[in-house]
A and B are shown apart, each in its own frame.
Chain A
């Protein structure tokens, strides 16, 4: 017979669950409203979602309880809080992109917004826990919601993307459970910090077990983070999803994945077992380089951006490989700056979306579409140009500062070759980003009709893009305060 469990409410530290609870209530609320009042406008749902996200953000920032909670499965430490802030800010910018000029079926459905909020909850659980089972639940909640969101776009390509993502995701989930199982078998615990303790006590023996667990985990997280060789789904899924959702997928699921990877891999890298480091090193270099080289030959801007975001994820894994406080701060700094620029770039694709493939049978956004854009829509072209140069790491735009800090972290911990590989990759990357700039600025326009480029433009979209452009242009002014906050939290959580 089981012993009765008696635990005081205070020790459960329920406020740690408050941020997630807010969004769950929001999501259920949206479903209930939909049951009662049919035909509400998408702007209503959008703004309600934004409001709940903001409430959630307030709860995350305002939380000042103990870092452990709810049977010790919750871990609200510094990196969990920064990651949640990044997730929520990116989400708050993403949702209003539904207010495009043209109407899309998915944005009329209340389920879309409910699923979106459930997905955020999943991500939040992923980052705010070091319990492998809770992380798994978060991962699956968010992934299942995301598959559905992709399919809701209701195009043939979208279904293809959703199914592809789902099948590959199922495989990754299998890997994850296997890895968690192995670690549990080795150490008798599913809490990362306890696994770490036991492994250190045993001097990482048996090595074969640790290796198997690590490899399965790289397979599982590598899928989420689109690391080579589990990156193949990325371009197809991005191409099939709507442009904003693709931009969102390139940022938010990844930051959640990075936090998990940071918690798990840094302990393994620090173990001193050399080949663990080599595996990661290989993954990092391959991800950056192969993705960059593949991006060179893409004919579609969205696919190019997909490969480029894989390459950016590769640099982030480099931060995890380096593993110093500076590198971990660099990861969050980089990703915050990258968030604005990349969301901006994908939002631009959303603005110039046209319901027909006018330029190419296969692709929605081939490079030729942007030919001579500066002559038709100079401001649009200039903003897109800024985003491209920023993504390429041109100073003084946003991503450059993240890259600078990351390379500096690499150099400071004697990873000189890694630093050189990163900069050589940015030299390769500049070519494909510049390709778009060349099309926009140096070629002659295909058609002089500005109308076909602006069918989807609306004020909310323009405001979001304008804001992203401002953040990209003037990043140098807020890098310092941002870096201070990030470093403070990263140090506080012991990374």
Chain B
């Protein structure tokens, strides 16, 4: 298993290239097979993963452009392992549920290239290549939204691309400045993240660098007020695009916070903690309110994504093991749940060609299976105990409780608001009489859709009841990172803060 990470990163791309040769009638089967193999590879990685080793495993290193310190450097730890698994799993499920017929071959090849870039972002440890994967992931998504989306697709695709591209260019300056600082301190050029972790940066410089990285990640997450591209992208994207966008692409931003912002700039992260927490709380509450006001089912879920990502950000900036582990778990659970919800909206859209709630009503009597799955996913999204959504949300909030109880309380209202808009959505669409004639003849879930949705339902329940195997692995790597942050902090108050929030009793 020496080169399993390279295999996992580049297998989808190679398969995508070979996919040009596959006849378009068999393209979907090809896509599913490739993504299933990729998922199996990720499972093999998990099995081979040493759960007692908190550091990077399966490391591959070879210099690529040594004179500027760039290398080909892959590694996986508890934080990135499950995100890579999530990526391959969601891609597979999304391809199984695919119902688009037009130019399906191009679509599948784009999805496979997208999978390479997403897995690459999570597994690469060289920052220049990280940037490369980060930017490259925009191109297939641009094509997916722009070519298969609905009426306003061009505007949505361009907005998505420009927003995220513009956000990340400053990160490039930040990256190069980090390399400069590293060279200044050690005399060696390096873009390897583990090397950078060891570097102590002066406080003022940290603030600037934190800002440069923060902008890129915040736009991707997307954090208020940079969230406006997301509803457009979701509104116009085809189902498969929405699933991947919500389930994986947004996680790249929050992963960036955990991987870069916190361990590289601990002092700045603590310094900016409250402003960021306030933005996160605005995201939670404001997005939930906007979600309530939507008439389009897909927009409700899009805004609920923003609301949930607010809790992810809050958990990350709790700076303690519970909060960060919880936020990573919430990324996984949100990936599964929002992916499933977008898929369900796609299911009903394929049948009725509308996503407006007022066109539905009484669906529960016509499509009982659909209503059941929808109900389960909805509960998981709200964060019902024993469902997957509860674990991450609870841990994130519990973690932040040690920082500030009042902010946690405010963020907690997000759960209540979430219940309000989600249950309203359910009531409007599924309960009551069937008011529209067209809805009476709707068919329930077919075999293809069940194949895609049943594994998701199973995961929602299993991981909701027993999340421990995943949590312990994440927790281990998170604790290692926290120790590092505490040790390298320049300002003694930062160390004190990190120790405080990580000990029982908390600061207040």
Contact = CB atoms under 8 A, between A and B. Distances in A.
Interface of A: 374, 389, 394-396, 400-401, 404-405, 407-408, 411-412, 416, 419-420, 423-424, 426-427, 430-431, 434, 437-438, 441-443, 476, 479-480, 483-484, 487
Contacts of A427: 162, 165-166, 169
Given A424-B169, A427-B165, A476 B67 contact: no
B445 interface: no
Nearest to B139: A389
Contact of A395 (B135, B161, B177): B135
Contacts of B143: 441-442
Nearest to A430: B165
A419 B180 CA distance: 13
B212 to A, nearest CB: 9
B128 interface: yes
A442 B154 contact: yes
Across the A-B interface, the 6 shortest Cβ-Cβ residue pairs: A395-B132, A442-B146, A423-B169, A427-B166, A411-B176, A480-B65
A400 B143 CA distance: 21
B421 to A, nearest CB: 33
B381 to A, nearest CB: 32
A408 B180 contact: yes
Contacts of B173: 407, 411, 416, 419-420, 423
A438 B176 contact: no
Contacts of B177: 411, 416
Interface size class of B (residues with CB under 8 A): 20 to 34
Interface in B106-152: 106, 128-129, 131-132, 135-136, 139, 142-143, 146-147
B132 A407 contact: no
Given A407-B172, A408-B176, A416-B177, A434 B161 contact: yes
Contacts of B64: 476, 480
Given A394-B135, A404-B128, A408-B68, A442 B147 contact: yes
Contacts of B447: none
B170 interface: yes
A35 to B, nearest CB: 52
A483 B67 contact: yes
Contacts of A424: 169-170
Given A396-B136, A431-B158, A443-B154, 6 more contacts: A408-B68, A437-B142, A438-B157, A442-B147, A476-B65, A483-B68
Contact of B179 (A394, A401, A408): A408
A404 B176 contact: yes
Contacts of A484: 67
B469 interface: no
B187 interface: no
A412 B131 CA distance: 19
B135 A431 contact: no
Nearest to A389: B139
Nearest to B178: A411
B131 A395 contact: yes
A258 B440 CA distance: 73
19 contacts: A394-B135, A395-B132, A396-B136, A404-B172, A411-B176, A412-B180, A416-B173, A416-B177, A423-B169, A427-B166, A430-B161, A430-B165, A431-B158, A441-B143, A441-B146, A442-B143, A442-B157, A480-B64, A480-B67
A413 to B, nearest CB: 9
B65 A483 contact: yes
A290 B284 CA distance: 41
A480 B71 CA distance: 11
A420 B180 CA distance: 15
Given A394-B135, A408-B180, A411-B177, A420 B65 contact: no
A225 B166 CA distance: 28
Contacts of A401: 65
B488 interface: no
A415 B241 CA distance: 40
A169 to B, nearest CB: 36
